Copies of this chain bind each other. A is one copy, B any other.
Amino acid sequence: MPHFNKIEYKPIPVRELLLEMKNLSELMIDLAYSAALFNDKPLAEVVMELEERVDTLAYLLDMEIMVAARDAKDAEALVGVSTVAAATDKISDAAADIAGIVTHNIGVHPIVSDIFDKVEKHLTKATVKDGSSIAGKQIGKLGFASRLGVDIIAIRRNKDWIIDPKDSERLFPGDVLITRGAPQAVKEFQEISEGVATKVEAKM
C-alpha cells in the first residue's frame, strides 16, 4: 500500500530544485537503460523511486515560482524556468516507462537489449551495511574502488539523493550507492559494501 505524504511548501531556491531535477532526470535515463539491458529489478525500482522524487521537486518548484512571480513581468521571466522543469519531469517519466518494462515483468525484447548495449559499463545498486569496511569512510579514500574502476555516481541517504558525490563525501550504513563499472568490478564492490567480502585497503 503506497504511502502518500502531503507536499508542503518549503523555501528551497528554484536554482537548486531545477538543478536536482535535471541531474536526476539524466541519471534516471542511464539507470533505466541499464535496468532494461540487464533486466535488473532493484535498479528499475530505484528509477521508480527517483521518479517520485522528481515529481515532488516539480511540485515544490511550481509553488516556488508562483510565490516568486509578483507581476506579469516576473511571470514572463520565469515561464522559461517552469518549461525546463516540466521537460525534466517528462524525461524522468520516460525513464520510469522504460524501467516499468522490468518491474512489470513484461520481458526485455532482444531488440531492446540490442539498442541499449552501448551502455558498456554496468550500473548497479549496493547498500552500505552496518559493519561493512566502507562505512564511515570518505569516497576519495576507497583506494580499492578506483583500482576496480568503480565510480559511485549517486547516493541515496534517507530521502535525499546526492548525485555525483565529491571525494570528501563520507559513506554511512544504510546509504544506497549507485555504482558504474565493469560487471565483475561492481559485483565485487557490492559484496564489500554489503560486508560479504572484506577485501579493503581503504585508509581513513
Chain B residues with CB under 8 A of A22: 115-116
Task: Report if A115-B84 is in contact (Cβ < 8 Å); known contacts: A90-B94, A91-B29.
Answer: yes
0/1 string, A140-162, CB within 8 A of B gives 1: 00000000000000000000000
Q: Are B18 and A77 in contact (CB under 8 A)?
A: no
User: Which of B15, B83, B114 contacts A101 (CB under 8 A)?
Assistant: B83
Q: What chain B residues lie within 8 Å of A93 (beta carbons)?
A: 90
Report the interface size for chain A: residues with CB under 8 A from the other chain.
Answer: 37
Chain B residues, Cβ within 8 Å of A77: 107, 109
Give the residues in chain B near A76, CB-CB below 8 Å: 106-107
* Residues of the B chain whose Cβ atoms lie less than 8 Å from the Cβ of A36: 84
Contacting A80 at CB < 8 Å: which of B15, B90, B101, B114? Answer: B101
Q: Give how many copies assemble into the complex.
A: 2
Smallest CB gap from A36: residue in B: B84
Contact at A83–B98, with CB atoms within 8 Å?
A: yes
Question: Separation in Å of the A169 CB from the closest CB of chain B?
Answer: 19
Assess whether A182 is interfacial by the CB under 8 Å rule: no
> Would you call A62 an interface residue if the criterion is a C-beta within 8 Å of the partner chain's C-beta atoms?
no
Q: In the complex the two chains form, is B15's CB within 8 Å of A115's CB?
A: yes
Q: Mark A58-95, 1 if CB is under 8 A from B, else 0.
A: 00000000000000000011111101101110110111
Question: Do B94 and A106 touch across chains, with their CB atoms under 8 A apart?
Answer: no
Contact B79 A106 (CB under 8 A): yes
Point out the residues of chain B lying under 8 angstroms from A109, CB to CB: 77-78, 80-81
- Interface residues of A, Cβ cutoff 8 Å to B: 14-15, 18-19, 22, 29, 32, 36, 76-81, 83-84, 86-88, 90-91, 93-95, 97-98, 100-101, 106-109, 111-112, 114-116
